[in-house]
Structure 1
Amino acid sequence: MSARPPRVLLVSHYYPPHVGGIENVVRQEAEGLAARGADVTVLTSGPRSATTVEGGVRVVRIRAWNGAEERAGVPFPVFSPALAAAALRLSRRADVVHVHDCLYLSSWAAGLAARLTRTRRVHTQHVAVVDHPSGLVRAVQRAVYGTAGRFLLRGARSVFTLNASVAAFVRAHGARAERSHHLANGVDTELFRPAATGERAAARDRLGLPADRVLVLFVGRLVPKKGYDLLLAAHTPDAGYDLVFSGGGDAAALTGRPGVHHLGALPPEAVAEAYRACDVFALPSTAEGFPLTVQEAMASGLPVVTTDDPGYAPYGLDRDGVSLVARDVPALAAELRALAADPLRRARMGEYSRTYAQRAFTWESHVRTLLAHYRGDGGGR
């Protein structure tokens, strides 16, 4: 690749304004790359086909049916046949195709297009097989990873993962060890920041949250893999805290529960305000490693309670600064009760979170690493 800024095609099944972790990562990458001079196009889904320019990024949306997510909580857009032609056309003009995750039609189309056009391709794998309650969904995941997933992972010049568990998963599914690289997501530490004096009370008022309760925040889709149901089971009226949920999904499960508040799916600016309104962040998810919402919570200066996942190993977290607990109701209930009753411990953990985030989670470093791999001088030739 020449010394000029690269022409990059980023491929993601969703992109903002759709709310979710992968789409937020892709937007940050896209805008960060564009700010450094790259010519960036995003190929994604939408309710109708359209091409727009957003934040200096060309966004090509292909019409897709999203009923699987709307009806069953399965984020799998079914694209129109126009996807194949668009992927081929955009791959042909790109210097590098960067595919996010294996499971989606957009990933398969872009991977095949990059192969046909002989365009350098890199890959980010965010998760391994998700422990979905549906046996059919689990079986489909395994089948996809064993076929299209192997094709995508084996052919990528570089494969980026966020934690040790996913790193082992991609190597077991065809990624070459010398082409596999740990790459933490960044986080906007100006948007996601601790509450200033008086700001927490004002945020609670705007969001309709109680002023005099310890608030434990959950951010994510209301699906079992995220563990929202464990938080509900762990909470009792005398627990000493209220639960606050931000995210779309099975909102009916939250209705009528005392001490439970649902903010719905929020854009990033409003999510940042929700972090500033609350006292603790909890995410008892499974098979996610280090989700973006944990990074946002840490940048916001919140104490974090999350699942004790071996995937966290590359991050070197201090277990006194981040609470890594077993993914079961008794452990979760005990830890949240203890934190609710201990403001000094919450303050210490919150300070650790903010300091760690400012040191370890920068989008500038993330984008710089991507550019090195796009040029072929970051390893994984």
Structure 2
Amino acid sequence: MLSHGYYPRIGGAERQLAAVAPLLQARGVDIHILTRRLPGTKPFERLDGIPVYRLPVPGPKPLASLTFTLAALAMIKRLDPDLIHAHELISPATTAVLAKKLFGKPIVATPHRSGAIGDVLRLKSRLLGKARLRALSREVNAFCVISKVIDEELAAEGVPVQKRALIPNGVDVEQFVPLASSKRAALRSRLKLPKDAQLVTFVGRLAPEKQVDHLVGIWASLRRTLPQAILLILGSGPEEDILKKKAGDGILFLGEQMDVTPYLQASDLFVLPSKAEGLSVALLEALACGLPAIASSVGGSPEVIRHMETGWLVPPGNLIALREAIVTLLTDEKLRNKLGRKARIHVVKNYSLVKMANRLCDLYSRVIEQDRRKI
């Protein structure tokens, strides 16, 4: 597998890959992760039994991309895999296409985001982007499509339906489980969180597309209505410093957490105000914990959240609607419980990590078999 990032970097895509890799390994798929070597990481290590090769990315961005590509090609030649799975369409998928040309390896590619910041539109905006998209459409054997929005974007670029396999992200529904209300006070005490507060949680990268500044911006006004409301922000990113400067009372920045489960279980509400998404892993994790969620109606979120049935959808960028949704749910425990309960049922049925792993195994087998028939 080719991926820009892997543990200890812990964005949604990285957490998803790290979660599903051991399940694929247990199903007989010999997984090897090729990723960038970031400062403080080892060039090689095994994580949960998965070999992880961290390749050099020195110097400015163009040089780093070239160096990574050359190192990845050398490692692919050495490993001689049956298939290459590239995560993201820009650098990893381009490297995979070169490997296919050189070594004849079939490719599965996963675009991880949609909309203005998504793989398809970002690639189109780059130098020779349309030509690169045509090459990917031609050379990639199958696209692993995590949401219907991404499927529509690929279809609009001419990727044939037989190459598009809808395999949504998954969540470990045995790890992310609801916590009995009788145990919540003890958990909050252990996490050093206010025992009697109304906790609203965001998990994700602190980047412009997540629009965490919208939450920070409405919080002072919201606390005048609900003084016990506390906003927990889990994550880091380029906007962290400016968000901290803007934040007033009732906002706690908890940084990146290797395990977000207890924070979700301790919370009353989850919120995801993004202007663009693929299919948010953090959202799936929250819903699996039986946590009622508010999300912008972008990307794959409307596929997971049925408004007022398994969650609450708001128009992206609408601060009035966002504030109203938070206030309504924090003041209506019965509605919170109903949405959280139905959300858990929906995620267990449709978005389990086991189901995702089984679908990926089937896709890999199909692509490898079809490729061998051509020989």
TM-score, reference length from structure 2: 0.86
Amino acid across the alignment from 2:85: H
Structure 1 residues 127 and 380 mapped into 2: Cα distance closer, same or farther (>3 Å)? farther
| SS class of match (1:309) | coil
Greater shift after overlay, 80-89 or 206-215? 80-89
Greater shift after overlay, 352-361 or 191-200? 191-200
CA distance in 1, matches of 2:133, 2:187: 43
Structure 1 residues 124 and 216 mapped into 2: Cα distance closer, same or farther (>3 Å)? same
Matches within 5 A, 1:87-236: 87-90=73-76, 93-103=80-90, 105-131=91-117, 142-143=125-126, 145-235=129-219, 236=221
CA distance in 2, matches of 1:142, 1:306: 27
Paired position in structure 1 for 2:240: 251
Paired position in structure 2 for 1:284: 273
CA distance in 2, matches of 1:356, 1:378: 32
1:16-43 deviation per Cα after TM superposition (whole angstroms, max 9, x unaligned)? 1101011112112321111112211011
Aligned CA RMSD, in angstroms, stands at 2.7
Shift of 1:148: 3.4
Unaligned residue ranges in structure 2 (runs of 5+): none
CA distance in 1, matches of 2:63, 2:87: 14
Structure 1 residues 178 and 302 mapped into 2: Cα distance closer, same or farther (>3 Å)? same
Q: Is the 8 A contact 1:216 1:242 kept in 2?
A: yes
Paired position in structure 2 for 1:357: 347
Paired position in structure 2 for 1:56: 49
Identity fraction in percent? 27
CA distance in 2, matches of 1:84, 1:21: 27
Unaligned residue ranges in structure 1 (runs of 5+): 1-9, 69-75, 133-137
CA distance in 2, matches of 1:98, 1:139: 20
Amino acid across the alignment from 2:231: L
| SS class of match (1:217) | strand
Aligned length, in residue pairs: 357
CA distance in 1, matches of 2:240, 2:294: 22
Structure 1 residues 65 and 333 mapped into 2: Cα distance closer, same or farther (>3 Å)? farther
Paired position in structure 1 for 2:252: 261
Paired position in structure 2 for 1:303: 292
Greater shift after overlay, 12-21 or 320-329? 320-329
1:59-85 deviation per Cα after TM superposition (whole angstroms, max 9, x unaligned)? 1111225998xxxxxxx9935725414
Q: Is the 8 A contact 1:97 1:121 kept in 2?
A: yes
| SS class of match (1:257) | coil
Q: Is the 8 A contact 1:221 1:247 kept in 2?
A: yes
In the TM superposition, structure 1's runs of 4+ consecutive aligned residues that sit over 6 Å from their partners are 138-141, 377-381
Amino acid across the alignment from 2:320: P
CA distance in 2, matches of 1:198, 1:27: 32
CA distance in 2, matches of 1:310, 1:106: 22
